[in-house]
Amino acid sequence: MTDPATGTPAIAVDGVSKTFRIPHERVNTLKERALHPFRRSGYDRFDALSEVSFAIERGEFFGVVGRNGSGKSTLLKCMAGIYRADSGAIYVNGRVSTFIELGVGFNPELAARDNVLLNGVMLGLSPREARERYDRVIDFAELNQFEELKLKNYSSGMQVRLAFSVMVQVDADILLIDEVLAVGDVGFQQKCFDIFNKLRDEGKTILFVTHDMAAVRRFCHRAVLLERGKVVRIGEPTEVADTYVDLSFHRGAEDAAPREAGRIGDGSAEILEGWWEDEHGERQTILHQSRPCSFHARVRFAREVTNPAIATVFENEQHQPLMATSTEWTDGSTGRFEAGDEAVFSVHMDMAFAPGRVYASPWVAHGQQRVMDRRPQIASAVVVGAHVSGGLVDLPHDVRLESGDRVLQGQGGRS
């Protein structure tokens, strides 16, 4: 590493553009070239990256997010020196190791020692360094018993462990990581993140390309969101992740039109519309978990009604009722409405439902028996959030574990 006091960023990306040319007709033999020396087939241009600029500080854990085809992998490959940027420049200060795939160069026919050497050298170690680190690698991977085995006889889990420990022992200043974590089970992913945290604490700079917003929120100091090769947003990981989610769900959230089927009522009142709002009072089809939100329904009475009850139930995609509420639970009666009067009913809460689609089905009734209007699933929204507990709701709560003098405490249901 160079002197951190100078404040030179670990990576600076300055106006980088990259265009791929995709020929309509690929000429890939000398014969064709010889037969038609002057024929040039047309090609499509695909702007994978256009004018991307940002800087990553030393010791930062930096997330790169974006939808498929947004250019994040191309960006990573440009930074890694696998692709050459068409214009702009990338400045890198420190030793870089790239992990587009774990265990690059691994050969199934070779034993662990040779593979560690091969992989280590590919990742930038000298052969001597790679040999010196072999014992640490094998210890870290907990594969001491299997050193002599050829890699093809390793289980896939063992191979990943080996690859991972090489990565940790390579000792790069800057790590470029491309969704290697997509492999492996939850336990393994946790181990990966533990390692990343450790590396981060050691002052390594980590750039991490991912789809996993939970990981971005949990680990990244900052993140950048790419869309069609352009920087859409850069900054706080939570904001970037929210923008990403908005972008990804935008189309999907509006799919569910209010259902007419199942509408019942005697026509003396009509629920005109129902909608969701966020904490700023903006209508939304996307709601963020544990943030304030509200459901609203506008009702018009067709004739004079005294003390009607307006209620709603919230359901998830499997039509399981998550929660129901009603004006019956307010203090006092709702009063008298003339024909033609309108009222807006609303429910305000912190969104505690598990991520997924949530429907609101409100109704207006008079007493217990007479339903004036019932509109099943009049409004739907997608709840987004990083936290998937497996439960239908995630209520704010505290977790405690006490044993003798030790007290372990944590909070759940709040992100």
Partner 1 sequence: MSTLDTAALGRPIKGPSALGTDLRRLAQLSVTLAVMEFKLRFFGSVLGYLWQLMRPLLLFGVLYLVFTKFVRLGSDVQYYPAILLTSIVLFTFFSDATSRSVTAVADRENLVRKIEFPRLVVPLAVLLIAYFNLILNLLAVLVFVLITGVDPRPEWLAFPLLLIPLGLFAGGLAMLLSALFVRFRDVQPIWEVVLQAAFYATPILYPLEKLPDPDLQKAVVLLNPLATIIVQMRHTLIDNSAPTAWDAAGGMSHLLIPAAIVLGVLVLGFWVFNREAPRIAEEL
The site for partner 1 (CB under 8 A) is made up of 6, 8-9, 12, 14-15, 20, 28-31, 33, 51, 53, 55, 77-85, 89-93, 96, 98, 100-101, 104-105, 107, 109-110, 114, 117-118, 121-124, 126-127
- Is the Cβ of residue 130 or residue 299 nearer to partner 1 in the bound state? 130
Cβ-Cβ contacts under 8 Å for 367 (sequence gap 6 or more): 309
Q: How far is the CB of 80 from partner 1 (least distance, A)?
A: 5
Q: Which of 299, 298, 306, 303 is nearest to 366 (CA)?
A: 306
| Distance separating alpha carbons of residues 389 and 393, to the nearest angstrom | 8
Q: How far is the CB of 84 from partner 1 (least distance, A)?
A: 3
Q: How far is the CB of 8 from partner 1 (least distance, A)?
A: 6
Q: Which of 33, 9, 338 is nearest to 174 (CA)?
A: 9
| Distance separating alpha carbons of residues 358 and 288, to the nearest angstrom | 12
Residue 154 burial by Cβ neighbours in a 10 Å radius (0-12, 13-18, 19+): buried
Residue 245 is which amino acid?
Answer: V
- Is the Cβ of residue 15 or residue 292 nearer to partner 1 in the bound state? 15
Q: How far is the CB of 211 from partner 1 (least distance, A)?
A: 19
* Cβ neighbour number for residue 251 with a 10 Å cutoff: 8
Q: How far is the CB of 193 from partner 1 (least distance, A)?
A: 22
Cβ-Cβ contacts under 8 Å for 25 (sequence gap 6 or more): 41
- Is the Cβ of residue 125 or residue 138 nearer to partner 1 in the bound state? 125
- Is the Cβ of residue 55 or residue 158 nearer to partner 1 in the bound state? 55
Residue found by looking up tokens 């944590």 in the block:
410
Q: How far is the CB of 139 from partner 1 (least distance, A)?
A: 23
- Is the Cβ of residue 48 or residue 192 nearer to partner 1 in the bound state? 48
| Structure tokens that stand for 153 in this block | 């006889």
Q: How far is the CB of 61 from partner 1 (least distance, A)?
A: 21
Q: How far is the CB of 292 from partner 1 (least distance, A)?
A: 35
Is 100 in a helix, a strand, or coil? coil
Residue 342 is which amino acid?
Answer: E
Contact 41, 25 (CB under 8 A): yes
Q: Which of 129, 143, 141 is nearest to 97 (CA)?
A: 129
Residue 146 is which amino acid?
Answer: F
Radius of gyration of the chain (CA): 29
How many angstroms separate the first and last alpha carbons of the chain? 35
Contact 208, 199 (CB under 8 A): no
- Is the Cβ of residue 164 or residue 363 nearer to partner 1 in the bound state? 164
- Is the Cβ of residue 27 or residue 158 nearer to partner 1 in the bound state? 27
Cβ-Cβ contacts under 8 Å for 386 (sequence gap 6 or more): 213, 214, 217, 218, 241, 289, 415
| Distance separating alpha carbons of residues 8 and 359, to the nearest angstrom | 51
What single string gives the DSSP state of each residue in 298-329?
Answer: EEEESS-EES-EEEEEEEETT--EEEEEEGGG
Q: How far is the CB of 26 from partner 1 (least distance, A)?
A: 10
Q: How far is the CB of 91 from partner 1 (least distance, A)?
A: 4
**Strand ranges (DSSP E) for 338-396?**
342-350, 356-366, 370-374, 379-384
Q: How far is the CB of 208 from partner 1 (least distance, A)?
A: 17
